[in-house]
Amino acid sequence: MHKATTTQSTTLKKSNFSKVKTGINSPKVVKVAVVSSIIAVLLALMVSPVKAAYPEKPIRMTVSFPPGGPVDMAARIIGNRLSEVLKQSVIVDNKTGAGGNVGAQMVAKYPNDGYNFLITSSSYAVNPSLYGDKAGYNPQKDFSPVIIIATQPNVISVNEKVPVKTLEELKAYAMKEKLSFSSPGSGTTPHLTCENLFHVIWKNDITHIPYRGAGPASIAVVGGETPIGCTAVAGVFQFHKQGKVRIIGVSSTERVSDLPEVPTLKELGYPQIQDYTWVAVLAPAGTSADQINTINRAIANIVAEPDTKEKLSQAGLIPVGGTVAQTTTYINNELKHWSKVVLETKAKPE
């Protein structure tokens, strides 16, 4: 009787042991579970592929002004370095005309995929007020600000053969002679700076001759096509140094360090004129915030580099940079400012 009980007990223990070995912790079941998990992960990856790092193809920067001017200079300085930083090609493409409107109109219609950007000047903030619907874009709806690359004051220059050396002498000379002035185009800030000075304040009929950008406008005054030039400082800076033109007034709040001999318009009795031409990067509306921030941070870092600062300075440009939020606030303020100037000067597109 005792032996039978022992045998039964031993059989029960073996039976229980077998159940444990063939339960959820058995090697066979664990192996199946691991394989199932691997298959599940692979299926998930197939359904939701890993997002490629941005950018994964060339970026196109459309410049709304022609080669030779400050917008193009800044675009190429930044574009070359941006290509190195992002390890991706950056294509600089000039699409000019109508004071920057042509380029803006084109980019507004480009895909908002993070591979299309507009590089333009402060005319972007002027043209909606100057041209109205004919500007062909709405700055509040069609674009997202990215960054301000640089800024620079506007200057008034005269051809070397014009017999004046100061702004007051130019004013007196304009009373006796029929004169004209070149600008980078209707609606550009240099145009409005001189429109305000010559037509509103002086009440003189000096004729405005618009060109397709600062480069051609600068060459016009150098070559004598127009006796007066109204451009951003970068356009005529080198010609002033060479003695081919004379810069006789600058629209900045303080004198330009590289032009210490040139007085500000404020010093000359025109404190209401403190104007700047800036170079900005914008993206078509709907471009993702992540892509915009990526480009913003990359350009901000580039602008802060000593080598880039030197190159921009040599072109007469003052580096800016800043965040997307700061850029948005600045451009919104500029839209208000230039809307007021267009209204006061009664400027018209030509």
Percentage with pLDDT > 70 across the chain: 85
Supply the pLDDT for residue 39: 54
Q: State the chain's mean pLDDT as an integer.
A: 88
Q: Tell me the C-alpha distance between 6 and 14, whole Å.
A: 13
- Tokens coding 228: 């007066």
Hey, what CATH topology would domain 153-250 get? D-Maltodextrin-Binding Protein; domain 2 (3.40.190)
Measure Cα distances from 239 to 84, 118, 182, 262 in Å: 32, 29, 15, 14
Say which amino acid occupies 148: I
Q: Is the peptide bond before 163 cis (omega within 30 degrees of 0)?
A: no
**pLDDT confidence band for 68 (50 / 70 / 90):** confident
The secondary structure of residue 264, as a DSSP letter, is B
Q: In this model, does residue 342 exceed pLDDT 80?
A: yes
Supply the pLDDT for residue 314: 83
Q: Tell me the C-alpha distance between 103 and 213, whole Å.
A: 12
pLDDT tens per residue, range 82-91: 999 999 999 9
Hey, what CATH topology would domain 59-151+277-345 get? D-Maltodextrin-Binding Protein; domain 2 (3.40.190)
Supply the pLDDT for residue 12: 35
Q: Tell me the C-alpha distance between 305 and 47, whole Å.
A: 43
Segment holding 28, helix H or strand E: helix 27-47
Q: Would you kindly state where each structural domain of the chain is located, as residue ranges?
A: 59-151+277-345, 153-250
Say which amino acid occupies 126: V
Supply the pLDDT for residue 40: 54
Mean pLDDT value of segment 49-60:
84
Write down the residue that tokens 């429109």 correspond to. Answer: 195
pLDDT tens per residue, range 308-329: 999 998 888 899 999 999 999 9
Q: Give phi and psi for 213, each to the nearest 5.
A: 120, 165
Q: Give 61's Cβ-side CA count (13 Å radius).
A: 27
**pLDDT confidence band for 1 (50 / 70 / 90):** very low
pLDDT tens per residue, range 233-276: 988 999 999 999 999 999 999 999 889 999 999 999 999 999 99
Q: In this model, does residue 22 exceed pLDDT 80?
A: no
- Tokens coding 277: 């031409």
